[in-house]
Structure 1
Amino acid sequence: MVRDKVATRLYVEDDLANGQIIGLDQGRAHFLRTVLRLKAGARVALFNGRHGEWSAVLEGLGKGWASLAIGDQRRVQVAEPDLWLVFAPIKRGRIDFLIEKATELGCSELHPAMTRFTAMDRVNTDRLAANAREAAEQCERLSVPQVRTPHDLDKLIAAWPAERHLLVCAERRDAAPIADSLADARTAGLVEQPWAVLIGPEGGFADHEFAALSRLPRARFVGLGPRILRADTAGIAALTCWQAWLGDWRHHPEVRSDL
């Protein structure tokens, strides 16, 4: 693998292989030409979530177009945690922040869930997907989390996969400290299994939502300490704890050869 210096990283949907020529859409071409002010011959990195990361040379670009010649592979594709974030939508600036940080923290899917007390009634999933893609490009992960269509929480619970564990972040007296719950899960060997973190609205969950969640066999109610956290803070805190106890933060970081 080669780790030469590159001007930027881009997510593309094309297959990636040595010697292949690919074109970029107008938006990405504009980014390279007008924002980064790159010229022909500049080196960039490409990834698609399937074939690892590849170096590429900017062969040419103009107004609304750019072509790239793919060179050598920089990194092979690796398995990433199967971790969902299910969250009640919040105001625009804070939801954008949450999506960015959830991407950096390794989520594989992002599920907006409309709850009884959700204050927002519309979610711009295209904007959220763009935020996730940009965050993935910047944090050097090899995939981009999928942003799912919003669904009512009741429907998500009814269709919940039987094999997926669920951390329900809730202000309840019977909620275990999140560190204790994750430590128990690690001791039980639940590291390489699918998980999800659920963050409710700032008004909390309704009684019937708590009842439905309690019936899920792999749901764990956890608390996030003595202070009341905003929804976006709670999401980041819970994902951080999960990564530290069960996720890929347990592994040694990759040694960079291009530093």
Structure 2
Amino acid sequence: MYFISDNKIIENKEFLLNEDESFHIKKVLRAKLDDKIKVFDFNKVWLCEIVDFKNRNVLLKPIEIVQKAKRKYKIKLYFPFIDRKLFEYVIKKSIEIGCDDLFPLITEFTQKHNIFDLNDKKDRIDELIKSAMKQSESTAVLKINNSVYLKDILKEDKKFIIFTAEKINQRIYNIYDALKKIKGEDINIVTGPEGGFSEGEKKEFKENFIPVKISYNILRAETAAISALSIINGILIENENIL
């Protein structure tokens, strides 16, 4: 687990950690002077030494970089609005597994009572993101984008991998062949809403929507998203040149 600095860490320059992070270090971790901890400044992870306890803050000295934030590929998840608690669960798991962008998706079968204004929940979502990043030591900062309509992304030319339980335009691919088809592009993942896609939506899927089936069973919306991210990240860890 690492801690988060709101400001950029500069080599050999001591800095104060914010009160919330300092409280955890002092009261939960019960750290002492000269103890070493890891701190992420949204760019790099630094190994730091505790120099002093100043009132409610911890004074740290950066020692060395232990991990640089990097990802050779971008993973973007288009995920439908579902029950808010489950939606937040997917946010956390997306960070733990590996995802760069999340686009809340509105389809014909999206239930209106599940759609919420992300700006109204910004503080809570920001805390969810930070908590998941710290726990998983992720250096990819998940960006939560404005919601989009499926009917609008259907007009785009970029390639999407769509996880579905059935063929689209008489096509279905395994995940390896699907990834090869998007070589050199971002990995755009689309998962369906509760109830699946409407017949009208299915007719609008073009060749740039690459259908993939990952289970013999019908998956819940949140299960499909988490499974899709897990499978793709697992493949790319061992075989990044597939892209």
Could you say whether these structures have the same fold, taking a TM-score greater than 0.5 normalized by the shorter chain as the test?
Answer: yes
Residue of structure 2 in register with 1:128 after alignment: 125
Please tell me the residue identity of whatever aligns with 2:3: L
2:232 paired with 1:232: no
Structure 2 gap ranges (5+): none
Q: Is the Cα contact below 8 Å between 1:165 and 1:218 reproduced in 2? A: yes
Question: For 1:105, which of 93, 97, 108 is the aligned residue?
Answer: 97
Q: Are 1:17 and 2:10 counterparts? A: yes
Closer/same/farther in 2, CA of residues 66 and 176 from structure 1, 3 Å limit: farther
Spell out the pairing of 1:1-259 with structure 2 (5 A cutoff). Answer: 8-50=1-43, 52-61=44-53, 64-119=56-111, 120-122=114-116, 123=118, 124-158=121-155, 160=156, 162=157, 164-174=158-168, 176=171, 180=174, 182-187=175-180, 190-212=182-204, 214-215=205-206, 217-245=207-235, 247-250=236-239
Q: Return closer, same or farther for 1:165/1:49 CA change in 2, 3 Å cut-off.
A: farther
Q: Which amino acid aligns with 1:172?
A: E
Deviation at 1:176, TM superposition (A): 5.0
TM-aligned CA distance change 1:25 to 1:114, over 3 Å: farther
8 Å contact from structure 1 (residues 44, 55) kept in 2: yes
| Pair 1:238–1:143, CA change in 2 (3 A) | closer
Q: 1:187 to 1:84 in 2, by over 3 A?
A: closer
Contact 2:3 2:134 survives alignment (8 Å): yes
TM-score, normalised by the number of residues in structure 2: 0.80
Structure 1 pair 129/197, CA: closer, same or farther in 2 (3 Å)? Answer: farther
Structure 2: how far apart are the matches of 1:144 and 1:202? Answer: 27
Partner letter of residue 58 of structure 1? I
Alpha-carbon separation, structure 2, partners of 1:30 and 1:18: 24
Deviation per CA, 1:181-200, whole angstroms, max 9, x where unpaired?
A: x3224555x44431111122
SS at match of 1:104: helix
Contact 1:80–1:106, Cα closer than 8 Å, also in 2: no
Report if the CA contact (8 A) 1:81-1:248 is conserved: no
Question: How far, CA to CA, are the matches of 1:22 and 1:116 in structure 2?
Answer: 51
C-alpha distance after superposition, 1:206-239 (max 9, x if no partner): 3443344x14x52112223221111111111112
What CA distance in whole angstroms lies between the structure 2 residues aligned with 1:48 and 1:208? Answer: 46
Gaps of 5+ in 1: 1-7, 252-259
Contact 2:101 2:144 in 1 (8 A): yes
| CA distance, structure 1, for counterparts of residue 79 and residue 149 of structure 2 | 11
Secondary structure of the structure 2 residue equivalent to 1:46: strand
Number of aligned residue pairs: 234
TM-superposition CA deviations, 1:79-135 (whole Å, max 9, x none): 343001110122243223322221122111111122232231214344333323322
Mean Cα deviation higher: 202-211 or 223-232: 202-211
TM-score, normalised with respect to structure 1: 0.76
With over 3 angstroms needed to count, the CA separation of the structure-2 counterparts of 1:209 and 1:10, relative to structure 1, is farther
Provide the aligned C-alpha RMSD in A. 2.8
**Using the alignment, how far apart are the partners of 2:153 and 2:17 within structure 1?**
36
* Residue type at the aligned position of 1:220: I
